[in-house]
Structure 1
Amino acid sequence: MHNYSIDNNNDKIILTIIIILAGLFDALLNYIFSLWISNSFASFYYIFVYLITFASTFAILFFLFNNYFWKKTPFNKIVKCPDLNGKWEGQIINPDYGPIEVHVEIKQTWTKIIINLRTKTAESATEALSFFTENSMDHPQVKYIYYNKTKNNLGKDFYSHGGTALLTYNENCLGGNYYTDEQRKTYGQIKIYKKDK
């Protein structure tokens, strides 16, 4: 999985909230801790305990948000990033070769994502990706760079290559255009539907 970007600054707001919550929880733990032990012991270990509990609390909260809460209501309204996790199926429509059946698996957290696409002859994976949600006509757009690797030597028209794609997300459907690199110089359309929710 690799990092991805999104065209808003809401991640800074979310990180600030996580830091504040970690600080409040840490203050509560340290208050309880100070009631249990003597003042001399507390003063000696206070900074050490404070740093450990704050770091641990932040790590736990970040882990939970990064893997689970970011896609749940009401947090998904702040993140403004669609949850693409799951298996997808559809077609690549190429003007030269006709429709090609594709199977896609997307793994995503709040901070990382990867899109793996398979056909009978090739496999591809994303290397960089951006979400556009602010000015995308009510439907988020996904723009990514991918690398496609052929499974066998199928001739000069079928070889490993790079490319880009710009897809629009709408009601568990991703559709749009793709373009290959300057060596292959092909283009087409992708349309896939989510199998599981």
Structure 2
Amino acid sequence: MNKMHNYSVNNHPKAKFIFYLVVISGIIASAINKTIQYLLNQKFHLDVKFILSTAIVFSVVYFIFSKWVWKNKIFGEIFKFPNLNGKYEIDGLSLKNPTGAEIPWTGFLTIEQDWNEILIVLTTSTSSSTSLSVQGSIEHIPRNGYQLSYNYKNKPDISESDLYSHEGSCKIMFTKDILSGSAEYYNNGKERPSYGKMKLRRSADDKKNI
């Protein structure tokens, strides 16, 4: 199973959000404690102390926020925090490679993202190798969209005897609606130095998830 990793969103006040979630959790915990204590003592006449810790409530609130709430379009527009989750079709062009010729290729880019972690996986139709992100960042570019920058590691399938493991970096400029984008990539491995560009478009079956 591929593991997600942390990423950053430039100028996003994540620390402040955590503070606000702690405050909200404290308010919720206090309200729950008072309500249940009232029911136990006044309604059921039980001399029982009930205490729900803020830490437990925060764990639940944080889980809900990090998995679902941040994906809301209004949240994304206000705080410039894009939901990139989905599958994108790729039309790529290798501009420098061992053959010395420009080579067109196609593939898919799949992004799995929550508020705290992300994983970017690239597969091509011409090779069984897979590129997995190891770190990344997102930046809002006014009037243009969002730039996703990430480093990756590529491991070819054992059957690909002519290919070598390599590392690289990629920058993708997504449009405001996150339906398409353009990218540049650089493979910096000694055995396979190359670079190229890509055009991305969200898969038709995936647009409903935006």
Assess same fold via TM > 0.5: yes
Q: How does 1:30-179 map to 2 (within 5 A)?
A: 30-35=33-38, 36-37=40-41, 49-51=51-53, 54-95=54-95, 96-119=101-124, 120-121=126-127, 122-133=129-140, 135=141, 138-151=144-157, 152-155=159-162, 158-170=163-175, 171=177, 172-179=179-186
Any stretches of 5+ residues in structure 1 without a counterpart?
Answer: none
Amino acid at match of 1:37: N
Counterpart position of 1:15 = 18
Contact 2:12 2:80 in 1 (8 A): no
- Unaligned 5+ segments in structure 2 are 96-100
CA–CA distance in structure 2, aligned partners of residues 114 and 167 of structure 1: 14
**Could you state the TM-score of these two structures normalised by the residue count of structure 1?**
0.85
Q: How many residues align?
A: 187
Letter in structure 1 aligned against 2:164: Y
For 2:154 and 2:142, locate their aligned partners in 1 and report how far apart those are by CA, in whole Å.
Answer: 27
**Identical counterparts, % of pairs:** 27
Distance 1:67 1:79 in 2: 17
> Given that residues 185 and 197 in structure 2 are in contact (C-alpha distance below 8 angstroms), is that contact kept between their aligned partners in structure 1?
yes
Change (3 A) 1:138 1:153: closer
Partners of 1:34 and 1:139 in 2: CA distance: 50
Shift of 1:78: 4.1
CA distance in 1, matches of 2:120, 2:32: 41
Match of 2:200 in 1: 192
Instruction: Say which is worse superposed, 68-77 or 98-107, in terms of deviation.
Output: 68-77
Contact 2:12 2:81 in 1 (8 A): no
Q: Distance in 1 between matches of 2:29 and 2:105?
A: 55
Query: What's the TM-score, normalizing by structure 2?
Result: 0.80
Deviation at 1:137? 5.1
Q: 1:71 to 1:118 in 2, by over 3 A?
A: same
Answer whether contact 1:147 1:162 (CA < 8 A) is retained: yes
Question: Which runs of at least 4 in structure 1 moved beyond 6 Å after TM superposition?
Answer: none
- In terms of mean alpha carbon deviation, does 182-191 or 9-18 score higher? 9-18
Counterpart Cα distance in 2 of 1:137 and 1:128: 26
Question: Any conservation in 2 of the 1:129–1:144 contact (CA below 8 Å)?
Answer: yes
